[in-house]
A and B are shown apart, each in its own frame.
Chain A
Amino acid sequence: MADNIPENLKYTKEHEWARQEGKVLVVGITEHAQRQLGDVVYVELPKVGAVLDAESPFGTVESVKAVSELFMPVSGKVVKVNEELTESPELVNEDPYGDGWLIQVEPSDSKQVAGLLDAAAYTKYLKEEE
């Protein structure tokens, strides 16, 4: 089954996606990532206000079987976390690009955002990874 890779998002090789909304970058995991992980049963997210570097871990998602770390797509300050995932972690599976978003970040360097993969590059990366 082909994964849904929306054109309007940016991606990382760690399978996070990022969507620019004004000054803020909304971050989640891709459909591919949630499918690999299986049923998500627990999500651990950072505290609002945390300042983290690009590629550093910001939390974890856990399925029945496995734990996966989440990595910052860019450096910046966490300005919001998806509190709904505490009660309903399955949103990550059901709607990875929508209600299953993870955190919102205020990037400290807009160049890092431009440097993320676009949909075509991420699609190519997934093919190479197979």
Chain B
Amino acid sequence: MARRTPLNAAHRGLGARMVDFAGWDMPVQYTSVIGEHEAVRNAVGLFDVSHMGEIEFSGPGALEAANKLITNDLARCADGQALYAGLLNDEGGFVDDVVAYRFSPERILIVVNASNKDKDLAWMLSRAEGVKPVDRSDDYAQIAVQGPKAVALVQRLTPVDLTPVGTYRFTEGSVAGVPCIISRTGYTGEDGFELYCAPGDAEKLWNALLREGERDGVKPCGLGARDSLRTEMKYALYGNDIDETHTALEAGLGWICKLDKAGGFIGRDALVKQKAEGVKRKLVGFQVTGSGIARHGYPLLKDGQRVGEVTSGTQGPSVKKPIGFGYVPVELAAEGATFDVEIRGRAVPAVVVKTPFWKK
């Protein structure tokens, strides 16, 4: 039986089409993926992301313990700052991609993918030194408010001045009377917030955002739009674009790996070695120039030989072109390089392009 977020009844009340996602009963769309995608690009959309996991390190030594596990550097950021980071295995492959929140050196919250939560927790417990991580997932519901009108919408519902809360900063305060962590983060390429609240308050917050956002054209959005939005930004999806077998350098996520940070991190030595030897394959973004849409798992061909496969692919609703990404040998990774995508038996031409695919 799939797990339900505290907003399950609200989704059903709004007529959402529900699907099983990582063991959770989640909305894939309410009315139309394209309509929801466009609401986020042009106005504001709401996503229930309560299925994400939250793992906390608290007490003296929390920062050091968490920092040793993640690739980015919590020691170099301020309290009230969040960081996108990886959890890597010893080979430099992804155990998960996460967002780490630094409340103070004694309280770090790491937000992990729903599908990986149990694996991550077990991995952290086996690798953490000093402070042991605690699963706090049941304490949090999470609503993402995304789009050009998102900041103003949230501001109208909170007495907290949001002006100083810049990108990847967060604060705490009440939104629509609900105590929240108000985080200027998201995974759509648009401005906005992710609001963390107690599960019992989630429906109140969701309904207040829908009501107050009516004049902005707010739409509840499902996983379908979330996927097309993040694909246009070339944001990685765990299990598709990143996994235990591809390193952070191959994935183009070297920028979240602070190789020189004090104390290092798990997987660092593998990345240093790979950097010295040279990366042999890379995750690239491509546009299909022939007729057809590339999908996850389709082969990538060069002169008829398989050289990789599509990790994510869709018709980009904003870019209005078939786009995708996949791992290819480095000699095919430069902008302008061409190869074919095998679409149901047909070799369809594609070209490596600059990413993100979507820019305002």
Whether the Cβ atoms of A44 and B292 lie closer than 8 Å is yes
Whether the Cβ atoms of B315 and A62 lie closer than 8 Å is yes
B residues in contact with A41, CB < 8 Å:
34, 293, 315, 317
Contact flag A42-B315 (CB < 8 Å), given A60-B344, A64-B224, A65-B28: yes
Say yes or no for A82: interface residue by CB 8 A criterion.
Answer: no
A63 to B295, CA, bound (A): 11
Say yes or no for A39: interface residue by CB 8 A criterion.
Answer: yes
Say yes or no for B29: interface residue by CB 8 A criterion.
Answer: yes
Say yes or no for A67: interface residue by CB 8 A criterion.
Answer: yes
Whether the Cβ atoms of A38 and B32 lie closer than 8 Å is yes
Say yes or no for B250: interface residue by CB 8 A criterion.
Answer: no
Whether the Cβ atoms of A63 and B33 lie closer than 8 Å is yes
B residues in contact with A39, CB < 8 Å:
32-35
Which residues B306-329 have CB closer than 8 A to chain A?
A: 314-315, 317, 322
> B228's contact among A44, A62, A64, by CB below 8 Å, is which?
A64
Contact flag A62-B227 (CB < 8 Å), given A38-B29, A38-B32, A38-B33: no
A residues in contact with B224, CB < 8 Å:
38, 64-65
How many of chain B's residues have a CB under 8 angstroms from any CB in A? 19
A residues in contact with B35, CB < 8 Å:
39
B residues in contact with A62, CB < 8 Å:
293, 315
Contact flag A67-B295 (CB < 8 Å), given A38-B224, A42-B315, A62-B315: yes
A42 to B315, CA, bound (A): 8
Where chain B touches its partner, the secondary structure class is mixed
A39 to B222, CA, bound (A): 14
Which residues A28-43 have CB closer than 8 A to chain B?
A: 38-39, 41-42
A residues in contact with B291, CB < 8 Å:
44
A62 to B32, CA, bound (A): 14
Q: List the B residue with the shortest CB-CB distance to A39.
A: B34
Q: In angstroms, how far is the closest chain A Cβ from the Cβ of B64? A: 43
Whether the Cβ atoms of B344 and A65 lie closer than 8 Å is no
Contact flag A64-B344 (CB < 8 Å), given A38-B33, A39-B33: no
Q: In angstroms, how far is the closest chain A Cβ from the Cβ of B310? A: 12
Q: What 1/0 mask marks residues of chain B from 209 to 250 whose CB sits below 8 Å from any chain A CB?
A: 000000000000000100110000000000000000000000
Q: In angstroms, how far is the closest chain B Cβ from the Cβ of A43? A: 10
Q: List the B residue with the shortest CB-CB distance to A66.
A: B295
Whether the Cβ atoms of B295 and A64 lie closer than 8 Å is no
Q: List the B residue with the shortest CB-CB distance to A38.
A: B33
Q: List the A residue with the shortest CB-CB distance to B19.
A: A65
Which residues B10-40 have CB closer than 8 A to chain A?
A: 28-29, 32-35, 37
A residues in contact with B32, CB < 8 Å:
38-39
Whether the Cβ atoms of A42 and B292 lie closer than 8 Å is yes
A62 to B34, CA, bound (A): 13
Whether the Cβ atoms of A64 and B292 lie closer than 8 Å is no
Q: List 20 A-B contacts (CB under 8 A).
A: A38-B32, A38-B224, A39-B32, A41-B293, A41-B315, A41-B317, A42-B292, A44-B291, A60-B344, A62-B293, A62-B315, A64-B37, A64-B224, A64-B227, A64-B228, A64-B317, A65-B28, A65-B224, A65-B227, A65-B314
| Given A41-B315, A67-B295, 5 additional A-B pairs, CB 8 A | A41-B34, A60-B344, A64-B37, A65-B224, A65-B227
Q: Which residues of B contact A (CB under 8 A)?
A: 28-29, 32-35, 37, 224, 227-228, 291-293, 295, 314-315, 317, 322, 344
